[in-house]
């Protein structure tokens, strides 16, 4: 008797039902994993943009301070020191002999943009003979 080795529930139909459930679970796991990866990538890019904005704010503040020392237009010098998108997202303030530049990094989430604003500050002193 060749069929005496079989146990109940070892048929092909049980394997198909079990495989279908596992395929559904794999699809859900894939979708959840892809969502997490996309979120982490977006967060990483946002942090890179904020870091770049901090460097550009310092650079623009230094250019503005040099313009202040040379009696030139501070705002124009600060804005021309940064390339591309930072120009439109730049706020320049003069406080005595110091220049403060605030940059707002780009973000796909509007409520996050203002919270990630970075500020660079540079100061100059004129020589005593030039005061």
Percentage of residues in the chain having pLDDT higher than 70: 79
Confidence of residue 89 (pLDDT cuts 50, 70, 90): confident
Q: Is the pLDDT of residue 122 over 90?
A: yes
- Which pLDDT belongs to residue 15? 45
d(Cα 129, Cα 19) in Å, to the nearest integer? 86
Three-class HEC string of 2-49: HHHHCCCCCCHHHHHHHHHHHHHHHHHHHHHHHHHHHHHHHHHHHHHH
40 vs 108, higher pLDDT: 40
**For residue 60, which of 89, 38, 28 has the smallest C-alpha distance?**
89
Phi, psi dihedral angles at 42 (to 5 degrees): -60, -40
**Residue 39 near residue 32 (C-beta atoms within 8 A):** no
pLDDT at site 4: 55
| Residue 14: band (very low, low, confident or very high) from pLDDT cuts 50, 70, 90 | very low
* pLDDT class of 7 with cuts at 50, 70, 90: low
Task: Say what the pLDDT of residue 131 is.
Answer: 61
Rama region for 9: left / alpha / beta (φ>0; ψ in -120 to 50; rest): left
CA distance 74 to 70: 10
Tell me the CB-side half-sphere exposure of residue 61, using CA atoms within 13 A.
23
pLDDT category at 128 given cuts 50, 70, 90 is low
Q: What is the pLDDT of residue 10?
A: 56
| Per-residue pLDDT at 11 | 53
């Amino acid at each position: 008797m060749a069929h005496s080795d079989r146990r109940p529930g070892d048929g092909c139909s049980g394997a198909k039902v079990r495989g279908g459930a596992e395929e559904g679970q794999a699809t859900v796991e894939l979708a959840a994993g892809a969502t997490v990866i996309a979120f982490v990538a977006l967060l990483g890019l946002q942090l890179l943009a904020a870091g770049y904005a901090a460097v550009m704010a310092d650079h623009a503040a230094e250019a503005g301070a040099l313009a202040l020392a040379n009696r030139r237009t501070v705002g124009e010098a600060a804005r021309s020191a940064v390339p591309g998108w930072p120009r439109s997202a730049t706020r320049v303030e003069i406080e005595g002999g110091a220049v403060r530049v605030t940059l707002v990094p780009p973000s796909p989430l509007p409520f996050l943009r203002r919270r990630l604003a970075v500020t660079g500050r540079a100061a100059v002193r004129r020589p005593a003979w030039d005061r």
